[in-house]
Amino acid sequence: MRRTLAAAVREAVRGGRLAPGTRLPSSRRLAAELGLARNTVADAYGDLVAEGWLTARRGSGTLVADRADRADRIDGTGRAGARPIVSRPAAGPSRTPRHDLIPGNPDLSAFPRAAWLAAARRALTTAPDDALGYGDPRGRPELRTALADHLARARGVYVSPEHVLICAGVSHGLRILGRVLAGRGARSVAVESYRLDRQYGLLEAAGLETLPLPLDTHGTDPVPPAGTDAVLLTPAHQFPVGTALRRDRRTAVVDWAGRTGGLVLEDDRDGEFRFGHRSVGALQALAPDRVVYLGTAGQTLAPGLRLAWMALPPALAGEAVAAKGRIDSSEVVSQLTMAEFIASGAYGRHVRAVRRRYRDRRDSLVTALARHAPQVRVLGVAGGLHAVLGLPPGTERPVLESATREGLRVAGLSRYRHERALNGVTDALVVGYGVPTDAQWPQALSALMRILS
């Protein structure tokens, strides 16, 4: 019925029987009129909004999208009324959270559209014709050269452009590395007890067992048990707990790799977001022959760019390029644009600007907690786009339930715990302060305080 209803509305819009701007009946009313469940109507509306046929704005209902005005929209005047709104239709607060505090995503309103377009223009104006072909499966040489320079300066990474591999995201990089490890006969990868769940599935899909590492009051003990082939770590800012790997443990895991021939996979996804004066350089520089460094533009710019990178040990480079293959090449215009964006200094300026923005949010979060919820312990806020808010034992689930009622989308720490983790930390919320816009953040913070105080 959802599909039939959506098809009927689509045909009516296409055929002109529903004109742009027409307000549709509320899902409740239409459901009553048609004798359908209200969810069926709401889902059909949601599909049509996602497809661009309808728009939905809180307070003004569901309207037929302004598709007939396409000729106006594309003349570049950028009229606000023609701006497509792709969002779920208004519904009960439990179905459409008002604020997204899931960690790991940036504020997309901070994307530097004008500077990116200017870099695209410069890059595409000067690029050779053959840059538009299939090209090198490692990625465009301009981007690999710019990244090798940038990573050396910003993160202390030691790599030559020929051993940089452009990929579509850290997850894509891990899929490639999983294949490389499996191809070398590896069987197991040690991982942190708390980790980004989807990453480990990628290693397991390559046939590798993931073994959780013990966690103590100083953070992860990163030296894997005997017989482990590799270890995946987030040394600069443990995800999600937020600790930096201690100096002696950095040395210990690199020694392990040198001694056993094991490989260290360094996920540095939010390594550029360190708020204090003491920066934590990449582990990779300690042993460029034994550490694969992974970084991404998904947190500093936007996930939709599908731009990430690996600095590979030279001995692994050929296998990684082969495991990537030509089908998985990245789009070239964004690669050329990113190269130009980095080389012109625009990337450095952008990272500094958003770092200030996130630091201000972190500061306001810590201040608000001290005032309204002093019982909450704040962890892991020296960097990154999220904080861990420690809760009294047994309270994580009820706090999550009240978050849902308040329209907050937020994660519990237990969600990130490896199913065979040797020990646990605490009940906690993992609060991402990246996603809300500057305008939304004060409201999101107030809602968070209501559920914690």
Report 276-315 residues binding a copy of itself (CB under 8 A): 302-307, 314
Given the rule CB under 8 A, which of 35-43, 168-176, 229-237, 243-251 is the region that contacts a copy of itself?
168-176
For the window 413-442, what string marks contact with a copy of itself as x by the rule CB under 8 A? ------------------------x-----
Q: Which is nearer to a copy of itself, 34 or 85 (CB)?
A: 85
CB of 237 to a copy of itself, least distance (A): 21
The one among 5, 6, 9, 285 contacting a copy of itself by CB under 8 A: 6
Range 326-365, binding a copy of itself (CB under 8 A)? 326-334, 340, 343-344
Query: Any contact of residue 57 with a copy of itself (CB under 8 A)?
Result: no
Range 198-227, binding a copy of itself (CB under 8 A)? 202
The one among 15, 16, 59, 129 contacting a copy of itself by CB under 8 A: 129
Q: Which is nearer to a copy of itself, 79 or 405 (CB)?
A: 79
Q: Which residues contact 238 (CB under 8 A, 6 or more apart)?
A: 192, 194, 219, 220, 244, 245, 380
| Alpha helices (H) along 35-169 | 38-51, 70-72, 113-126, 141-155
Q: Which residues contact 323 (CB under 8 A, 6 or more apart)?
A: 176, 177, 179, 180, 183
The one among 111, 182, 209, 407 contacting a copy of itself by CB under 8 A: 111
d(CA 318, CA 340): 26
Number of residues that bind a copy of itself (CB under 8 A): 78
151: three-class secondary structure by DSSP: helix
- The residue with tokens 């690029």 is 127
d(CA 178, CA 187): 10
Angle at 73 between CA 71 and CA 79, to 5 degrees: 140
CB of 170 to a copy of itself, least distance (A): 10
407: three-class secondary structure by DSSP: coil
Query: Any contact of residue 168 with a copy of itself (CB under 8 A)?
Result: yes
CA neighbor of 246 nearest in space, from 272, 226, 216: 216
Count of other CB atoms within 10 angstroms of residue 112: 18
Query: Any contact of residue 2 with a copy of itself (CB under 8 A)?
Result: no
Q: Which is nearer to a copy of itself, 35 or 128 (CB)?
A: 128
Query: Any contact of residue 120 with a copy of itself (CB under 8 A)?
Result: yes
Query: Any contact of residue 409 with a copy of itself (CB under 8 A)?
Result: no
For the window 144-163, what string marks contact with a copy of itself as x by the rule CB under 8 A? xx--------------xxx-
Q: Which is nearer to a copy of itself, 224 or 436 (CB)?
A: 436
Q: Which residues contact 36 (CB under 8 A, 6 or more apart)?
A: 1, 5, 30
Task: Write out the DSSP string of 223-239.
Answer: PPPTT--EEEE--SS-T
Range 69-98, binding a copy of itself (CB under 8 A)? 70, 73-76, 78, 82-87
Q: Which residues contact 109 (CB under 8 A, 6 or more apart)?
A: 437, 438
Written as one letter, the residue type at 171 is S
